[in-house]
Each structure stands twice: as structure tokens, then as C-alpha cells.
Amino acid sequence: MKIRTILELLDAKVLCGEDKLDGAVHSACGCDMMCDVLAFVKEQAVLVTGLCNPQVVRTAVMMDMRCIVFVRGKMPPADVIALADDAGLVVLATNERMYTACGKLYANGLAGGEVINE
């Protein structure tokens, strides 16, 4: 799925990375606990979260994710957006709740990925 499609499906706003909207992603992870995100397989993924701190960006970079979607109308501070922009990530913000956002993405073909077995 193209990131531009995610933007449209979630009626989102682009906070940074507008030049990368035609990039493709193959899976998504919806989570507010970054330790759980680390258990997610990295495959050109989207992180859907309501957590708005720099750790979200650092986790996304560590997991080779391409896009962060902030849900529930959350707007990350300017330093978080700048950190994501420097890392080459697309950052979107939507008023959708996490459950609804993930459901819309899944219903339109974005897979959930696999969990790493410990």
C-alpha cells in the first residue's frame, strides 16, 4: 500500500515527509508501548500510535519503519517532527482512534505482520 493511500483512508494530515507519500509499505503495527513495537518484524512498516515523544521516532528508525501515524488527534511537538524529518520518515496525524485506524488499514489490505517468537 502506498503511504498516500493511508493518508486518504485516515483523512490524515502530513506533518513531514510529503515527498515520500508514494513510498510503499507492507505491514502496520498499532501500539503505544514501544517495547511491544520492538517485538514486531520490520518490513517497511507503519507505526500507528498515540504516544508523542522522541522515543517513538527512535523506535521507528530502529525497526526500519517508513511512516508514523499519530491517532486520536494527537500532535507531536516540533522537536519530535524534526527528529522524524531528519530520519527520513513520513509523519501523519489523524483524528481516528487507534482501533478504527488499524481496522481501516487492515480492511484495505495492509497486513499486520508477524510477531517475533522469543
Residue 115: pLDDT band by 50, 70, 90 thresholds? low
Percent of the chain with pLDDT over 70: 91
The pLDDT, as a whole number, for residue 116 is 53
Q: What is the pLDDT of residue 39?
A: 79
Contact at 8 Å (CB) between 22 and 4? yes
The answer to whether 113 touches 38, Cβ cutoff 8 Å, is no
DSSP-derived secondary structure letter, 65: -
Residue bearing the bigger pLDDT, 39 or 27:
27
d(Cα 60, Cα 46) in Å, to the nearest integer? 8
Residue 78, all three cell numbers: 516540533
Indicate if the pLDDT at residue 113 is higher than 80. no
For residues 87 and 2, give the distance between their C-alpha atoms in angstroms, rounded to a whole number. Answer: 19
Q: Which domains does the chain have, with CATH numbers?
A: 3-107 (3.40.1390.20)
Classify 56 as helix, strand or coil.
Answer: helix
